[in-house]
């Protein structure tokens, strides 16, 4: 079977159960002690971690996560501040629109759910900035519910152990979702543990570049390993370049605005990148994404909006959502 072939959703109960026990037992022994896994993190801590961990390694997330929860221990605490403060506190985690989306989710939680992260999957999915993966992850990790949680690590584990290919498709497919549901334990608590365990296995053992099959608790069952570890022959895997891209320019512009105590003149922003066309395009993109507010006289600042609970006036900005 090649990497371009969709994984079969047909998985026998016996095959599923054979994977569950060893992977969960491995997780019990080897899981990292991460702050969002501790009981005191609560649903809000889990949600914050899920936003931050998207496309960002744990080592970079940890210090920002700790600072974020110390400053904003509840959704209402974040919602009461301007969205620009979320962008500022996001620092150099990358993909800063996640900060605006998390702020928008905090506002919605405060206004719709009395400040408590909702338990129901449909309510989570209805929050701004929450997609299929994040809703399932919060419901599973925060509330112990039974949901298929498909991140990159889990998809890679399933591709290798069950489908027999080195890498999953570039984008999540319907066949992968069917497979994930077929592999899901029936019991809610076991399903939630399986979701966390399969994710950790992909992060620590069944890694993208250097899978450590000698440490894998299901190496003897892995279809890819048993097939002789056939090389990936599907579409090329997407790389993530950074140097010289608009992303780099946007990051440099945001760094100046994050460090500033007030609005920043255009002339100061012009010093961060020599190429004027790319610099202007990056700045326009930041404004279009709501990450930067243009003011009169060529000044720019992080978005202010109107914090939730603050009376609005005719001249007040609209809250971020």
Measured distance CA(242)–CA(304) in Å, rounded? 28
- Number of helices (H), then strands (E), belonging to the chain: the values are 15, 3
pTM for the full predicted model: 0.88
Residue 11 confidence (pLDDT): 54
Residue 17 confidence (pLDDT): 81
- Are the CB atoms for 55 and 125 separated by under 8 Å? no
- Are the CB atoms for 259 and 302 separated by under 8 Å? no
Residue 185 confidence (pLDDT): 97
Residue 169 confidence (pLDDT): 93
Nearest 5°: the CA angle 151, 154, 156 is 105
Question: Catalytic annotation on 50?
Answer: yes
Cα–Cα distances (Å) from 228 to 1, 165, 205, 233, 234, in that order, read 12, 10, 18, 14, 17
Terminal Cα-to-Cα distance of the chain (whole angstroms): 44
**Six token digits for residue 316:** 């007040």
User: Which parts of the chain sit beneath pLDDT 70?
Assistant: 1-15, 239-240, 306-321
Q: What confidence tens digit (pLDDT) does each residue in 53-83 have? A: 999 999 999 999 999 999 999 999 999 999 9
50, 81, 166, 176: the catalytic one is: 50
At 265, is the secondary structure helix, strand, or coil?
A: strand
Contacts of 2 (CB under 8 A, 6+ apart): 165, 233, 234
> Could you tell me the maximum CA-CA distance found in the chain, to the nearest angstrom?
69
């Amino acid at each position: 079977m090649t990497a371009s072939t969709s994984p079969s959703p047909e998985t026998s109960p016996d095959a599923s159960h054979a994977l569950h026990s060893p992977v969960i037992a491995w997780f019990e022994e080897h899981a990292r002690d991460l702050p969002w896994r501790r009981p005191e993190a609560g649903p809000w801590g889990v949600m914050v971690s899920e936003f931050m961990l998207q496309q960002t390694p744990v080592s970079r997330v940890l210090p920002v996560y700790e600072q974020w929860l110390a400053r904003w221990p509840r959704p209402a605490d974040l919602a009461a501040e301007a969205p620009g403060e979320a962008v500022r506190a996001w620092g150099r985690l990358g993909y800063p629109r996640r900060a605006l989306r998390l702020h928008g989710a905090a506002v919605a939680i405060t206004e719709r759910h009395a400040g408590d992260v909702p338990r129901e999957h449909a309510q989570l999915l209805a929050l701004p900035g929450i997609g299929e993966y994040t809703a399932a992850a919060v419901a599973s990790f925060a509330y112990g519910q039974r949901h298929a949680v498909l991140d990159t690590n889990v998809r890679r584990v399933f591709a290798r152990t069950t489908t027999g290919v080195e890498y999953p498709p570039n984008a999540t497919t319907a066949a992968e979702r069917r497979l994930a549901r077929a592999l899901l334990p029936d019991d809610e608590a076991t399903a939630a543990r399986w979701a966390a365990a399969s994710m950790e296995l992909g992060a620590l053992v069944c890694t993208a570049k250097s899978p450590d099959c000698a440490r894998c608790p299901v190496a003897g069952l892995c279809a890819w390993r048993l097939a002789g570890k056939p090389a990936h022959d599907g579409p090329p895997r997407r790389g993530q370049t950074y140097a010289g891209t608009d992303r780099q320019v946007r990051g440099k512009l945001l760094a100046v605005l994050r460090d500033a105590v007030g609005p920043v003149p255009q002339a100061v922003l012009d010093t961060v990148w020599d190429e004027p066309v790319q610099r202007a395009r990056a700045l326009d993109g930041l404004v279009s994404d709501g990450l930067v507010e243009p003011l009169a006289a060529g000044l720019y600042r992080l978005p202010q909006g109107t914090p939730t609970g603050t009376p609005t006036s005719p001249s007040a900005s609209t809250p971020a959502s």
